[in-house]
Structure 1
């Protein structure tokens, strides 16, 4: 088996917001409804998140992506074992479990202007009190599909397809350029 390589080799930009590509991360898409979902996620030590929520348990997390889709986040080395556990827990039920770790790129945005940088790119209200830690949104970052969540104050994670990683990095870096602040959310 080959060694995991991040999409952009950890490329980073330090503007009025820090933008960094942070992969590789383990990611599993789970599509399932109804019976067995709670037990399947519990086998990984995770609860079922509420609508537009992400919940963490140590190094693992699960994000609600749609009424029957969840994104499971875990250390890269644990993906194969987690896929097997999910498949076993959901055996005989209609479901899909897919390892998407190598198909995604992950970015972290840090700084007091992180909400503003994302608001410039995404049609989401990132205002304090509206978008807080534990919130997740599927959206667009300019012209590409993305998922965004706030992991802690002034820190956001953005996940996109690996094929558009350079575009997303360049977009976020441009929006985070010193001197491009507009003062939104301050």
Structure 2
């Protein structure tokens, strides 16, 4: 079996006002179903290893996580090698419920934006209120970054994780790099 290859082979930009790094292959599962059903959320949490998060948030424990994507959709995150097993487990546990579970790991790219000006870099590109009182650790947004679909969250202070389609990974990396170029501070926050 061949080794998984990320979209940009771990590309990094470290000379600006924030550090941009492609995080490599990550397990990602799109899961649709009735998020208001206790049996659904209980089954998902048992497989994912974390509780189903509230609206517009992300729950994480190490590499395991669940992000709220929409009223009937979650993004389950895990180690890349575990994604297939988790899809099988979810399909088994949700067999008697209306649910759709798909491994989308190879269709996505994940970036980290890190540093005291990471919030400023993200604010330049996404139509989201990123004021510190409005967007805090654990919050999650599905939005656009410079005209392409993306989602992001803050796993910790001064760190954003960005998920986009693999097909636009180079573009997202490039626009993040432009937004983080030296001397581009705007002191908004």
TM class, shorter-chain normalised?
A: over 0.9
Separation (CA, whole Å) in 2 of partners of 1:28 and 1:135: 19
Contact 1:39–1:89, Cα closer than 8 Å, also in 2: no
- How far is the alpha carbon of 1:75 from its aligned partner? 0.5
Name the SS of the counterpart of 1:46 in structure 2: coil
Contact 1:65–1:71, Cα closer than 8 Å, also in 2: yes
* 5+ residue gaps, structure 2: none
Name the SS of the counterpart of 1:43 in structure 2: helix
Name the SS of the counterpart of 2:130 in structure 1: coil
- How far is the alpha carbon of 1:94 from its aligned partner? 1.0
TM-score, normalisation: structure 2? 0.95
Query: Are 2:45 and 1:42 aligned?
Result: yes
- Counterpart in the other structure of 2:109: 105
- How far is the alpha carbon of 1:58 from its aligned partner? 3.3
Map 1:22-171 onto structure 2 (within 5 A): 22-33=23-34, 34-35=36-37, 36-44=39-47, 45-171=49-175
When the two chains are superposed, the root-mean-square deviation of aligned CA atoms in Å is: 1.0
* 5+ residue gaps, structure 1: none
- Counterpart in the other structure of 1:4: 4
Name the SS of the counterpart of 1:117 in structure 2: helix
Contact 1:31–1:70, Cα closer than 8 Å, also in 2: yes
Distance change (3 Å), C-alpha of 1:21 and 1:124: same
Name the SS of the counterpart of 1:50 in structure 2: coil
Moved more, 158-167 or 2-11: 2-11
Contact 1:40–1:85, Cα closer than 8 Å, also in 2: no
- Counterpart in the other structure of 2:177: 173
Separation (CA, whole Å) in 2 of partners of 1:2 and 1:39: 34
Runs of 4+ in 1 over 4 A off after TM superposition: none
TM-score, normalisation: structure 1? 0.96
- How far is the alpha carbon of 1:133 from its aligned partner? 0.7
Question: C-alpha offsets along residues 8-62 of structure 1, whole Å, 9 cap, x if unaligned?
Answer: 0000001110001112000001001043322221222221110001111332000
Separation (CA, whole Å) in 2 of partners of 1:67 and 1:46: 18
Name the SS of the counterpart of 2:77 in structure 1: strand
